[in-house]
Amino acid sequence: MAEPSLVTVVDDDESVRESLPDLLRQYGFATQAFASAEAFLASRFVTQTRCLILDIAMPRMTGPDLQRELARRRHNIPIVFISAYGDDEIEGAVKCLLKPFSETALLDAVNSALQAG
């Protein structure tokens, strides 16, 4: 049996870090969550992550900053950006979802990211 794909959530909002992994696990995904881009970069999960759900607006290192750093390090992880501020599509992202988003929209975006990766 195949190991479940690791979907990692990086968001400074605690409620998002708690709820999204719970939801994703219900659909058979392995999950990790981090409060900052820096914590994710320092983890052993960077190379294991198959889809990154990434908040755009975070203190210190933003979502787009993390995206650039991952590219610089040659980690090609498909990214689904999430935002509470109605940001436009971000180049290189599989999808950009506006909070609050539906469960269906999230699952469609994650599945698209996993197919793209």
The model's pLDDT over 15-68, given as tens digits with 9 standing for 90+, comes to 999 999 999 999 999 999 999 999 999 999 999 999 999 999 999 999 999 999
Give the rounded distance of the alpha carbon of 29 from its chain centre.
13
Cα–Cα distances (Å) from 55 to 2, 29, 34, in that order, read 29, 19, 11
Query: CA–CA separation, 18 vs 25, rounded Å?
Result: 11
Residue 34, CB half-sphere, CA atoms under 13 Å: how many? 23
How many CB atoms lie under 10 A from the CB of residue 88?
A: 7
The model's pLDDT over 98-116, given as tens digits with 9 standing for 90+, comes to 988 999 999 999 999 999 8
Residue 37: name the closest of 66, 64, 57 by CA: 66
- Does residue 86 carry a pLDDT above 70? no
pTM for the predicted model, two decimal places: 0.94
- Phi-psi group of 55: left, alpha or beta (phi > 0 → left; psi -120 to 50 → alpha; rest → beta): beta
